Structure 1
Amino acid sequence: MTQSLRDVWQYRGLIGNFANREIKGKYKGSLLGSAWSLINPLATLATYSLVFGFILRFPTPVAGNGSLTNFPIYLFTALVVWNFFHAVTTGGMGSLVGAGPLLRKIHFPPFAPVIGSALAVLNQTAIEFGLLFIVYVLVWNIGWTFLMVPVLLFMLAAFALGLGMVLAIVNARFRDVAYIVTVLLGLLFYASPIIYPISLVTDQYDAHPWLRAYEYNPITSYVEAFRDVLWDLEFPGWGRLAYLAVVSFVMLVVGWTFFQRRAADVSEDL
């Protein structure tokens, strides 16, 4: 693992170049440019808020300040988490395929575009979390637990990057993987408490004990942990933090090992 960190550090400049290229190229040619980085999540938030906040109404738990019950804020807290996970996981596939022509001409580690893509996503996530922080300050739902956000985000990044590296390698050989992942992530979105409170599932445990497996979904744990520290202003608990730390570390090690063992031949698949 130490050697892996050295490799990443050695090529930090190249990784940074891939990240910058992705950030600059994302909205290249559009009239509004980087403004879309705010418009897109806000448009998604407005759509889900209309459908699940008014039409198919879900109950909104009271926030940590004892009075806030705003569904769009409750929803946006989870959407930021999901957007980051989704973008890092799927971005690695596109970045590796996109770097294919360059890999066939110049020798450089294939992990550079994948990690660069993840760093580019962090730029978008920083904007979304900054907006979320301002909203929470304005509604006066703020506490020391906000300091836990970087810790949780770091663990989520490790988990998503590890998974993304596995998918990037497999997708390089079998391009159908990208389409399959899109379908599976769509199912995972609704199988996680993003647009609804987790109580809608936990209340069914007595009648359906098998539903307890629901909480072992890492995304469920991540969404609940972020809502704990941002919405409820509560510490997520050592048990949940330990579970997320182990799952994230294992996923990163598995993803990195799998990627490195097959990276030598990846240019042939691209």
Structure 2
Amino acid sequence: MQEELTVPGQPGSLKDVLRHRFLLKLLVSKELKVRYRGSILGLLWSYVKPGIQFLVFYVALGVFLGLEESAGNRGGLPNYAIYLFSGIVLINFFTEALGNASRSIVGNGGLIKKIYLPRQLFPVASVWVSGVHFVPQMVILIGACLFSGWRPSLLQLAAAAAGFLVVAMLATGLGLLFGAINVYFRDAENLVDMLLMVATWASPVLYSWTMVQSKLGETFFNFYQLNPITVGVETFHYAFWLPTTDGSQSIPPHLLSVWIPVALAISAAVLLIGQLVFRRLEGRFAQEL
């Protein structure tokens, strides 16, 4: 049976990414090679950067501001190092994925103007590259958790997987959205930079969710929980940090029954909106670039 012919250059969808998995693999490999070309440490930077970031935050917040529980400070968080790093691992994945995806179309302008291939491949490849950097950080986190007596349940591991899916979908959707808009309005890069600057502080990466609830009340806390990144970070704390404590700590109310499904729905909606906007604008990418 003869296959139906299609006109090249027509707007596509994320299904095209699945159909062109080989091209996606090539783009991921290209981005990694270009990023570490001439670098002495190479992929080891995936360990160095979060390590330095962790040390700075741990000393400033855990030691100086007393967020680390100790014999003389019972108001802090036990195993604050695990708490902090489990949040940093996920927020680093999001910030890198969104930052690179929003610049991916403009950054690959030379290739886009020369040949046609599904444009969605570029933002998705950027998210995958961030996933490659995410893996070694997870190895360190799991190693530290095991050293601290980590014994997670299947429910906790499933919650962490759901939290990662929430953040990955959100980063992909926003990456498609801002990646397309950035072709027409380069101010989008500055807007993304501001969003990424706020992202770390708008989620309980450095502090406890109980601080938000106690200081700002239940009503604001519910709005706070509508942030999918917040839910993702809380699932990582639930899966990696909570099993290393003495059991006196708790997770946000209704995290598993309400907030994870809500976060998945919001991230899926953002992914759909990002894809629709991308399809609407991609027709003139080559001309605008």
Output the TM-score relative to the length of structure 1: 0.89
Q: What residue identity is the alignment partner of 2:23?
A: L
Kept after mapping to 2: 8 A contact 1:228/1:236? no
TM-superposed CA distance for 1:6, in Å, is 3.5
Whole-Å Cα distance in 2 between the matches of residues 87 and 59 of structure 1?
27
TM-superposed CA distance for 1:238, in Å, is 2.0
RMSD between aligned residues: 2.1
TM-superposed CA distance for 1:59, in Å, is 5.2
TM-superposed CA distance for 1:256, in Å, is 1.0
TM-superposed CA distance for 1:211, in Å, is 5.0
Counterparts of 1:23-42 in structure 2, within 5 Å, are 23-42=32-51
Whole-Å Cα distance in 2 between the matches of residues 191 and 147 of structure 1?
24
Q: What residue identity is the alignment partner of 2:189?
A: A
Kept after mapping to 1: 8 A contact 2:203/2:230? yes
Q: Does 1:70 align with 2:79?
A: yes
Counterparts of 1:117-132 in structure 2, within 5 Å, are 117-132=126-141
Q: What residue identity is the alignment partner of 1:128?
A: Q
Kept after mapping to 2: 8 A contact 1:114/1:165? yes
Q: What residue identity is the alignment partner of 2:82?
A: I
Deviations 1:6-62 (A, max 9, x none): 41222111111111111222222111222111111101111111111112222559x
Whole-Å Cα distance in 2 between the matches of residues 57 and 33 of structure 1?
35
Whole-Å Cα distance in 2 between the matches of residues 241 and 192 of structure 1?
15
The match for 2:256 is 237
The match for 1:64 is none
Higher Rg of the two aligned structures: 2
Whole-Å Cα distance in 1 between the matches of residues 15 and 265 of structure 2?
22
Whole-Å Cα distance in 2 between the matches of residues 135 and 96 of structure 1?
38
The match for 1:262 is 281
Whole-Å Cα distance in 2 between the matches of residues 232 and 108 of structure 1?
45
Q: Does 1:249 align with 2:268?
A: yes
Deviations 1:192-250 (A, max 9, x none): 211111111101244x8445422222221221122112212479412122112211211
Q: What residue identity is the alignment partner of 1:89?
A: L
The match for 2:236 is 226
Q: Does 1:183 align with 2:194?
A: yes
Gaps of 5+ in 1: 62-67
Q: Does 1:154 align with 2:173?
A: no
Whole-Å Cα distance in 1 between the matches of residues 226 and 150 of structure 2?
28
1:201 alignment partner, one of 196, 212, 235: 212
Kept after mapping to 1: 8 A contact 2:224/2:230? yes
SS in 2 for 1:224: helix
Q: Which range moved further: 132-141 or 216-225?
A: 216-225
Deviations 1:124-150 (A, max 9, x none): 111111211111111112212234433
Whole-Å Cα distance in 2 between the matches of residues 128 and 228 of structure 1?
18
Kept after mapping to 2: 8 A contact 1:59/1:197? no
TM-superposed CA distance for 1:267, in Å, is 1.8
Kept after mapping to 2: 8 A contact 1:205/1:212? no
Deviations 1:159-194 (A, max 9, x none): 110011101111111112112221232123212211
Q: Which range moved further: 87-96 or 227-236?
A: 227-236
Whole-Å Cα distance in 1 between the matches of residues 229 and 162 of structure 2?
15
Gaps of 5+ in 2: 1-11, 71-76, 244-250
Whole-Å Cα distance in 1 between the matches of residues 69 and 258 of structure 2?
25
Q: What residue identity is the alignment partner of 1:56?
A: L
Whole-Å Cα distance in 1 between the matches of residues 15 and 39 of structure 2?
38
Q: What residue identity is the alignment partner of 1:193?
A: P
Moved beyond 6 Å, runs of 4+ = none
Kept after mapping to 2: 8 A contact 1:17/1:116? no
Deviations 1:247-270 (A, max 9, x none): 121111111111112111112222
Cα distance, 1:212–1:248 mapped onto 2, change above 3 Å: closer
Output the TM-score relative to the length of structure 2: 0.84
Percentage of matched positions with identical amino acids? 27
Deviations 1:54-108 (A, max 9, x none): 12222559xxxxxx92222210010111011111111112221111011111111
